[in-house]
Structure 1
Amino acid sequence: MTDQPVITVDGHAIPLLGFGTWNLTPEDARRMVAEALRIGYRHIDTAWIYHNEAAVGDGIRDAIEAGHVAREDIWLTTKIWVAHFEHDALLKQAGESAASLGFTPDLLLLHWPKNEPAFAETLGALNEAKAQGLTRTIGLSNFPSGEFREAQTLSKAKLVTNQVEYHPYLKLSKLKAAAKELGSSITAWSPLAQGQIADDATLVEIGKAHGKSPGQVTLRWLIQQNVIAIPRTARESRAAENFDIFDFQLSSEEMDRIYALARPDGRLGDWIDPRFKWDEEWA
């Protein structure tokens, strides 16, 4: 790994700053993954439902062949889609994802909670995928704290992260507490609130004090919490800007000012099955 902050979960060092590929076309995904790895990112996130796993794998190979990185220095995450949560379907997709990537992923996540089939079947199959060598580690995405705890009780292997929406306009105290209690971690998708942070007066002011943009301040705020952040962009210049966050530190007062931006309408991607409920908190 390059010399950048990591969080160690279950003996695995996961870079706190990653590169996300949600909504990137295959062409953009290949180009941007290769460029991100050239810049210095060592954590790449994709999913079966993004329809770009093969392109992500091509981008990784491009970076390896160019001499920018070795495979063992990359943390690669993909996700099982909810239509594949039955035992056989999950194992089939896990194999297909590894084949599309051309690499065994380091982390395989359940993309959203689903109550049919039962958690026990899905978690059992996810553990089996790990046992079969289809992934190094397993975890969750978009699980509220109660379901997070339930899933871990059903999983023999450690669930190393729960990937959820998190940015300054959300407060995830209960979910972060659950992750700490379980010896796990939180990964933030849409960490820049899909661009909403760009004109935030508080983030602009804090950024000016450090010579940084609101986006850089936000990403720094996340990694100082030991939260993994996976910003996504199709612009090389923005990827380089997002990576340039390791030469400054936010004070406790600045961290608190950003925490105070949480609001009740802060959630941007509420696609959870209505049978599950987010932890109710914001203030």
Structure 2
Amino acid sequence: MITSLTDRITLNNGTQIPGLGLGVFKIDNTTTATTVASAIQQGYRLIDTAQIYGNETGTGAGIQQGLVATGLQRADLFITSKVWNAHLTYDETITAFNDSLSSLGLDYLDLYLIHWPGHDAYRDAWRALEDLYRAGKIKALGVSNFEPHHLKDLLTFAKVMPVIDQVERHPKLNQAALRTFTAHHDIKLQAWSPLMQGQILDNPVLQEIAASHHKTVAQVILRWDIQQDILLVVKSVKPKRLASNAAVFDFKLSPEDMQRIDALNADLRVGPNPDEFDF
């Protein structure tokens, strides 16, 4: 379990990833640059973007601004991007990766993900990722929004194991079956939309737990994930909110708190169902 914003967890290939990072979904390029730079200055070391977000240029600018402001080196950061569903042939995946690298202004990525399973159209894309990994262009490979049956299929042909499955995960969708499967195969779960896009912040159970710890509901939810070794990417464009999201290391949820939050599960999604979503 991580104990600070800069703490890292070791993945199955030996790469170390910060446990809590910034996601930049649906942030425009200009705001992304400012937000990323601010996050780095506040101690964030993981930045998560994607080709389809349309803000890799802004992410890259923010990375450079943050490095200059802090004196950090590129190796101190962990940068993730993703290949979109429309580019899952071998050649398209290679091109998409190179385009992302160019937009970000980087010479390697720490993690590259297949964004969605795309009706199982990921075999050639995974082969492309493996070749980029062997060439040293990617430090670790992973997937996003894969269900257990997608992972089972992937593991039948993958020569390089995925290190992460980044999925929607929050108290209303606790992904228990997926957690069991990924733990068995030493694949880490990373939560996107851990706050359910704000739709769960008025939940009375969470509000009661938050009040007992003199914390916000958002902080309680993030702590719930951290105490289960779930990796996190959390979005905010506000410096105060970035700081608040990181203030989750000075308290601990009790076993009863954890059980009460677990009991909120309703298998409810705010994002698409991976088995139905294409592009």
Scaled by the length of structure 1, the TM-score of the pair is: 0.92
Asked whether 1:130 is paired with 2:140, we answer no
Per-residue deviation at 1:33?
0.6
Any residues of structure 2 matched to 1:41-60 within 5 Å, and which?
A: 41-60=44-63
Q: Are the equivalent residues in 1 in contact too, given 2:143–2:166 (CA < 8 A)? A: yes
1:21 to 13, 21, 24: 24
Letter in 2 for 1:7: I
Question: Structure 1 CA distance, aligned partners of 2:105 and 2:277?
Answer: 36
Question: Structure 2 CA distance, aligned partners of 1:58 and 1:43?
Answer: 15
Q: Which residue of 1 aligns with 2:11?
A: 9
Q: Which residue of 2 aligns with 1:149?
A: 152
Specify whether residues 116 and 4 from structure 1 end up closer, same or farther in structure 2 by C-alpha distance, changes over 3 A only.
Answer: closer
Asked whether 1:90 is paired with 2:93, we answer yes
Q: Which residue of 2 aligns with 1:72?
A: 75
Structure 2's unaligned 5+ residue stretches are none
1:112 to 91, 112, 116: 116
Kindly report the root-mean-square deviation, in angstroms, between the aligned alpha carbons of the 2 structures. 1.8
Q: Are the equivalent residues in 1 in contact too, given 2:6–2:43 (CA < 8 A)? A: no
Q: Are the equivalent residues in 1 in contact too, given 2:120–2:150 (CA < 8 A)? A: no
Per-residue deviation at 1:68?
5.2
The one-character-per-residue Cα deviations of 1:23-42 (angstroms, maximum 9, x if unpaired) are 00111111111111111111
Asked whether 1:199 is paired with 2:199, we answer no
Q: Which residue of 1 aligns with 2:276?
A: 274
Specify whether residues 15 and 116 from structure 1 end up closer, same or farther in structure 2 by C-alpha distance, changes over 3 A only.
Answer: closer
Asked whether 1:30 is paired with 2:33, we answer yes
Specify whether residues 273 and 170 from structure 1 end up closer, same or farther in structure 2 by C-alpha distance, changes over 3 A only.
Answer: closer
Specify whether residues 67 and 275 from structure 1 end up closer, same or farther in structure 2 by C-alpha distance, changes over 3 A only.
Answer: closer
Question: Structure 2 CA distance, aligned partners of 1:254 and 1:80?
Answer: 38
Q: Which residue of 2 aligns with 1:281?
A: none
How many pairs are equivalent?
Answer: 274
Q: Are the equivalent residues in 1 in contact too, given 2:6–2:45 (CA < 8 A)? A: no
Any residues of structure 2 matched to 1:153-164 within 5 Å, and which?
A: 153-164=156-167
Q: Are the equivalent residues in 2 in contact too, given 1:149–1:178 (CA < 8 A)? A: no
Counterpart secondary structure, 2:30: helix
Structure 1's unaligned 5+ residue stretches are 277-283
Specify whether residues 237 and 272 from structure 1 end up closer, same or farther in structure 2 by C-alpha distance, changes over 3 A only.
Answer: same
Question: Structure 2 CA distance, aligned partners of 1:16 and 1:149?
Answer: 25
% identical aligned pairs: 37
